[in-house]
Chains A and B, each alone.
Chain A
Amino acid sequence: MTADATTVRRGSARLEGFGWRPLGRRVPVVRDLDLTVEPGERVLLAGPSGAGKSTVLRALAGVLGSAGSGDAYGEVHVAGRIGLLMQNPADAVVAERIGRDVAFGLENAGVAREEIWRRVRLALEAVRLPYAVDHPTAALSGGEQQRLALAGVLASDADLLLLDEPTSMLDAPNADGVRRCVLEAVARTGATLVVVEHRIGPWLSHVDRVVVLDADGVVVRDTDPVTFAADPVALAEQGVWMPGVAAPVPLEPPAGLVAPSGGGVPVVAEALHVDLRRSSMRGTTVTPALRGVDVELVPGALTVLTGPSGAGKSTLVAALAGLVAPTSGIVSGLGGGRAPHRMRSRDLARRVGWVPQNPEHGFVTTHARDEVAATGARTGVTVDAAAVLAHLGLGDHAAANPYRLSGGEQRRLATAAALAHRPPVLLLDEPTVGQDRLTWAAVVGWVRAAADAGAAVGIATHDPDLVALADRVVALQAGEVLR
């Protein structure tokens, strides 16, 4: 592992025979990878979930070991300053005021104070963040946080921009905004760009080169975007989201895996208000998240909740699942003669399958197999863990530690863990983030089949392909249902 400036030119990167095996995994995520990126080149790195795309980016950024241990081999040569944007922009926030956050890289580089603030202001302008430098980072939306991270990268004059699914967690307008800012910055500075993304369509016309890794982390395509797009079907079959190819057909599991164990129940919210309180010594802020929402999840139907980030989708999903107490209004239907948020945990689990936005927060065991069986054991339902894992493309990872899986794999495992005991009500938060075409089809097929078998399904999402498969769409805006 060396960063060598004499043999390679600024903004270039080279991997030779590179491989990486995370601690506790038998096979490497990436092996024998050779990849050279020239200065100023714009490279799109694609491939199925778990192919090792993020690993390659982390290797180039020189932070492989920082987020988890493992064995690396081969050589990595990178010349010039690195800028890394990660999937979850909240991970990159280091200060509580935006100016100070952007300044972080400049402080590390030993830049003088006046110059720091000049560059911070320019960078904030470049990413169109219209706030003063003492604006709190906690008050930014996901899209704004990602632009803040980009500002930090731009201020430090990065020669090599590495983007790890920078827009996957964002709604369409925010994703467009981030993409535009990145492309403007690259055009202005001439920096090298390596971007990893599942939904490659919007990037394709802006890159010079497309590199595709297969499920084993081997390069299967390395070509220009035009040649790449000329042969869409073969790659689509491998899981790559090729633009112009219709959304995959949901892959439905056998009905026995998903049919509600108790029969369908509806979930109804009436005049639902939820206020979120944030308290600190400096005062309490009360933000209304839901303001008089009426919604019904019907058994046998797939209902999607859409709307921009901050519209209240996640709060509504959690409230319907009995995990948030209504400030006023009623959630009913889960049975037991109690409001859902007062139900006993086991009774609630029997009725509801819920997946948190961050899949890691849901894990309660140390093996994928046990994770899938856990809630079934708790609620007295027999679960065929092997069949569930196989359907979601996790068959090879049955013994793996949930924390050692890739982001997309973790999300599928969390979904499997929440749904394997066949609850009659499914409430999911962005289940398709980080999925390739094949795993997308498996996840969506699962919820579609569950709905067809009589479950009431509610999903918060900004994935248009998933919305297209829904029976009912509930659009939220600022905590209210749009009609």
Chain B
Amino acid sequence: MRRLVVDANPLVLLLVGFAAVVASLAVRDLRTGVIALTAYAVAGAVLLPSLRFALLRFVAVGVASVSVVWSTWLLGGHDAELALTAGLRIVVLALPGAVLAAFLDPSRLADQMGQRLHVPARFVVAFAAALQRFSALREVWVQLDRARRARGFGPTRNPVSLARHGGALAFAMLVAALRDAGRMSAAMDARGFADARTRTWAEPAPWTRADSGLLALGLFLALVPWLVR
């Protein structure tokens, strides 16, 4: 069971993630919100190989959710239930996609988009190559942070200084990513990417029964809040 999500068709993961948007539209009161989130949580507990990172993503989504709760409470006449519902809606909207996105295998996603959906190969392949570099950004961030700290440009404990440091690092990372992309595109063009006319695909883009099953489950989960409304 726990391989199901890891081996899943990337298109199914995307569809299940987007279906959560439909689910969130049905979250109009606290009860449906709790039921919808519980349904997703149970599915996650059964299907995900590790819950630790799902919880980390939950924290990230939670920050967004809390800010919505706060502003709704402030502007919505201090109605706690209304505010919590709005917060829950955000969690239901974003969490499934945020968790599943981490399981996308860039090459397999490109295979599916190129061969099944017939998206232009040039776009798809460049997209996959970029996606594949995404995980390297963390290491770049660490190196940039170290370099700035060693040169006296690190932050102090002051929150303003921390925020400015974060901004400077984010900008530096953008520059590093662009430089990296330039070098990578040189490497790709040198391997015939620039003038590829009729491209082939090294691997097929299969759709298995497990994929259909997972998609059905994802659609069902999206319908849960509509059914209990």
Tell me whether A356 is interfacial, beta carbon within 8 Å: yes
A61, closest chain B residue (CB): B190
- The answer to the question of B50 belonging to the interface, with a C-beta cut-off of 8 Å to chain A, is yes
- Interface assignment of A228: CB less than 8 Å from any CB of chain B: no
Q: Is A127 interfacial (CB-CB < 8 Å)? A: no
Main SS at interface, chain B:
helix
Contact of B154 among A92, A345, A417 (CB under 8 A): A345
Q: Which residues of B contact A324 (CB under 8 A)?
A: 146
Chain B 193-217: CB-based contact to A (< 8 A → 1; otherwise 0): 1101111111110000000000000
Q: How large is the interface on B (under 10, 10 to 19, 20 to 34, 35 or more residues)?
A: 35 or more
> In the assembly, what is the distance between CA of A392 and CA of B19, in Å?
59
A113–B180 contact, CB under 8 A?
A: no
Contact yes or no, B186 A348, CB < 8 A: no
Q: Contact between B176 and A361 (Cβ–Cβ < 8 Å)?
A: yes
B186 near A67 (CB under 8 angstroms)?
A: yes
| Cα distance A58–B189 in the bound complex, in angstroms | 11
In the complex, the chain B residue whose C-beta lies closest to that of A279 is B53
Closest B residue to A115 by beta carbon equals B200
Q: Closest chain A residue to B197 by CB distance? A: A110
For residue B93, CB closer than 8 A to chain A, the reply is: no
| Complex Cα–Cα for A5 and B126 (A) | 28
Chain B CB within 8 A of A68 CB: yes
Across the interface, A344 reaches (CB within 8 A) one of B136, B151, B156, namely B156
Distance between Cα atoms of A127 and B6 in the complex (Å):
31
Q: If A66-B182, A362-B147 touch, does A152 touch B191 (CB 8 Å cutoff)? A: yes
Q: Which residues of the partner chain B approach A116 to less than 8 Å between Cβ atoms?
A: 200, 202
* B62 CB–A CB distance under 8 Å: no
Q: Determine how close the nearest CB of chain A comes to the CB of B121; give it in whole angstroms.
A: 9
Contact with A along B1-29 (1 / 0, CB 8 A): 00000100000000000000000000000
Task: Pick the residue among B179, B190, B202 that contacts A403 (CB under 8 A).
Answer: B179
**Are the CB atoms of B187 and A91 closer together than 8 Å?**
yes
Whether A63 lies near B186 (C-beta < 8 A) is: yes
Taking a contact as CB atoms closer than 8 A, the residue among B129, B152, B182, B196 that contacts A110 in the complex is B196
Q: Are B199 and A107 touching (Cβ within 8 A)?
A: yes
Q: Which residues of A contact B182 (CB under 8 A)?
A: 66-68
The answer to whether A156 and B191 touch across the interface, beta carbons within 8 angstroms, is yes
* Residues in B whose Cβ lies below 8 Å from that of A356: 143, 146-147
How many residues from A make CB contacts under 8 Å with B? Answer: 77
Instruction: Tell me, yes or no, whether B140 is within 8 Å of chain A by CB.
Output: yes
**Which of B67-75, B80-88, B101-109 lies at the binding interface?**
B101-109
Beta-carbon contacts under 8 Å, B45-74 to A:
49-50, 52-54
A358:B143 contact, CB within 8 angstroms: yes
B50 contact from A99, A100, A283, Cβ within 8 A: A283
A105 to B182, CA, bound (A): 18
The answer to whether B185 touches A66 (Cβ under 8 A) is yes
The reply to whether the CB of A108 lies closer than 8 angstroms to some CB of chain B is: yes
Given contacts A91-B183, A110-B200, A344-B156, whether A323 and B150 have CB atoms under 8 Å apart is yes
CB closest chain-B residue, reference A102: B202
Contact of A96 among B54, B107, B176, B180 (CB under 8 A): B107
If the complex has contacts A86-B187, A156-B191, are A280 and B102 also in contact, measured as CB distance less than 8 A? yes
Nearest residue, chain B, Cβ from A318 = B146
Q: Are B191 and A378 in contact (CB under 8 A)?
A: no
Chain B nearest CB, measured from A428 CB (Å)? 11
Contact with B along A38-70 (1 / 0, CB 8 A): 000000000000000000001001110011100
Question: Given the complex, which residues of B lie within 8 Å of A92, measured CB to CB?
Answer: 184, 187
Residues of A within 8 A of B140 (CB): 361
Interface centre among A66, A99, A324, A352 (most CB of B within 10 A): A66
Q: Which one, A156, A283, A345, contacts B155 given CB within 8 A?
A: A345
A442-461 with Cβ < 8 A to chain B: none
With contact pairs A283-B49, A361-B143, A378-B151 given, residues A96 and B106 touching in the complex (Cβ less than 8 Å) = yes
The reply to whether the CB of B132 lies closer than 8 angstroms to some CB of chain A is yes
Please tell me if B192 contacts chain A, counting CB pairs below 8 Å. yes
Interface assignment of A241: CB less than 8 Å from any CB of chain B = no
Chain B residue at smallest Cβ distance from A110: B198
B200 and A107 within 8 A (CB): yes
- Write out, one digit per residue, whether chain A residues 341-372 have a CB within 8 A of any chain B CB (1) or not (0): 00011101110111011101110100000000
Is A62's CB under 8 angstroms from B202's CB? no
Closest to A345 in B: B154
The stretch of A14-22, A76-84, A475-483 in contact with B is A76-84
In the complex, chain A residues whose CB is within 8 Å of the CB of B180: 91
Q: Tell me whether A117 and B202 are in contact (CB under 8 A).
A: yes
Q: Which residues of B contact A58 (CB under 8 A)?
A: 186
Least CB separation from A95: chain B residue: B107
Interface pair A108/B153, CB less than 8 Å apart: no
Q: Does B119 contact A (CB under 8 A)?
A: no
Residue of B nearest to A137 (CB): B132
- Inside 8 A of A353's CB, which chain B residues have their CB? 150
0/1 interface trace, chain B 124-139, chain A, CB 8 Å (1 if under): 0100110010011000
A418 on interface, CB distance cutoff 8 Å: yes
Q: Evaluate contact between B202 and A91: CB separation under 8 angstroms.
A: no
* A283 to B6 Cα, complex, angstroms: 11
Q: How far is the CA of A279 from the CA of B56 in the complex (A)?
A: 11
Contact B151 A349 (CB under 8 A): yes
**Considering the complex of A and B, which 8 residue pairs feature the smallest CB-CB distances, nearest first?**
A345-B154, A349-B152, A281-B102, A378-B152, A84-B190, A108-B192, A103-B202, A108-B196
What would 17 A/B residue contacts be, using CB atoms closer than 8 Å? A61-B189, A67-B182, A81-B192, A83-B191, A94-B129, A96-B132, A104-B191, A104-B193, A113-B201, A117-B202, A321-B150, A348-B149, A354-B147, A356-B147, A362-B151, A364-B148, A378-B152
> A residues near B, CB below 8 A?
58, 61-63, 66-68, 81-84, 86, 88, 90-97, 99-100, 103-113, 116-117, 120, 138, 149, 152-153, 156, 162, 279-284, 318, 321-324, 344-346, 348-350, 352-354, 356-358, 360-362, 364, 374-375, 378-379, 403, 417-418
Additional 4 contacts, C-beta under 8 A, given A96-B105, A109-B192, A116-B200:
A92-B187, A113-B204, A345-B154, A349-B150
